[in-house]
A and B are shown apart, each in its own frame.
Chain A
Amino acid sequence: MARLEIESEVTGNVWKLEVQAGTRVDAGDVLMMIESMKMEIPVEAPEAGTVSELRVAEEDAVEEDQVIAILET
Chain B
Amino acid sequence: MSWEEEVREIHRRRRLAKQQGGKEGVAKQHARGRLTIRERIDGVLDPGTFQEQGQATAIPDYDDNDKLLGFVPANYVVGFGRVEGRRVVVGGEDFTLKGGSPNAAGLRKSVYAEHLAVQYKVPLVRSLEGGGGSVKGGGGRRGGTVGEPVYSAHRFRIIADAMGEVPVVSMAAGAVAGFPAGRLVASHFSVMTRHTAQVMIGGPALVERALGVSLTKDELGGAHIHAKSGIIDNVAEDEYDMFGQVRRFLSYLPGNVHERAPRTDCHDDPERMEEALLTAIPRDSNAPFDMREIVAMIMDRDSFFELAPGYGPSQIAGLARLDGQPVGVLANDNRVYAGAMTAEAGQKYRRFVEMCDTFHLPIVNFVDQPGFMIGPEAERNGTIRYGMAAVAAAAQATIPWAAIQVHKGFGVATAAHYAPDNYVLAWPSVESGALPLEGGVAVAFHREIAAAEDPDAKRRELEDRLRSARSPYPRAESFAVHELIDPRETRPVLCRWIDWIQPRLDELKGPTRFPMRP
A-B complex is real: yes
Q: Which residues of A contact B (CB under 8 A)?
A: 9-11, 36-42
7 closest Cβ pairs, A-B complex: A37-B338, A39-B338, A37-B337, A41-B335, A39-B288, A40-B286, A38-B286
Q: Contact string, B374-395, partner A, CB cutoff 8 A, digits 1/0?
A: 0101000000000000000000
Q: Say whether B492 faces chain A, with CB atoms less than 8 Å apart.
A: no
Q: Contact string, B317-343, partner A, CB cutoff 8 A, digits 1/0?
A: 000000000000000001111101000
Show 25 residue pairs from A and B whose CB-CB distance is below 8 angstroms, ordered by the A residue: A9-B313, A9-B336, A10-B336, A10-B337, A11-B337, A11-B377, A36-B338, A37-B337, A37-B338, A37-B340, A37-B370, A37-B373, A38-B286, A38-B338, A38-B436, A38-B438, A39-B286, A39-B287, A39-B288, A39-B334, A39-B337, A39-B338, A40-B286, A41-B288, A41-B335
- CB < 8 Å A-B pair total: 33
Residues of B near A39 (CB, < 8 A) are 286-288, 334-335, 337-338
Query: How many whole Å from B446's CB to the nearest CB in chain A?
Result: 18
Query: How many whole Å from B352's CB to the nearest CB in chain A?
Result: 21
Q: Which residues of B contact A (CB under 8 A)?
A: 286-288, 313, 334-338, 340, 370, 373, 375, 377, 436, 438
B interface, over-half SS: loop
Query: How many whole Å from B11's CB to the nearest CB in chain A?
Result: 55
Residues of A near B377 (CB, < 8 A) are 11
Residues of A near B335 (CB, < 8 A) are 9, 39, 41
- Decide: A42 and B288 in contact? CB cutoff 8 A: yes
Residues of B near A37 (CB, < 8 A) are 337-338, 340, 370, 373
Residues of B near A10 (CB, < 8 A) are 336-337
Residues of B near A36 (CB, < 8 A) are 337-338
Q: Report Cα–Cα, A41/B370, bound state, in Å.
A: 15
Residues of A near B313 (CB, < 8 A) are 9
Closest partner residue, chain B, to A65 (CB atom): B228
- Decide: A40 and B287 in contact? CB cutoff 8 A: yes
Residues of B near A40 (CB, < 8 A) are 286-288
Residues of B near A41 (CB, < 8 A) are 288, 335
Q: Report Cα–Cα, A41/B438, bound state, in Å.
A: 18
Besides the contacts A36-B338, A38-B338, A38-B370, what 7 more A-B pairs have beta carbons closer than 8 Å? A36-B337, A37-B373, A38-B286, A40-B286, A40-B288, A41-B288, A42-B288
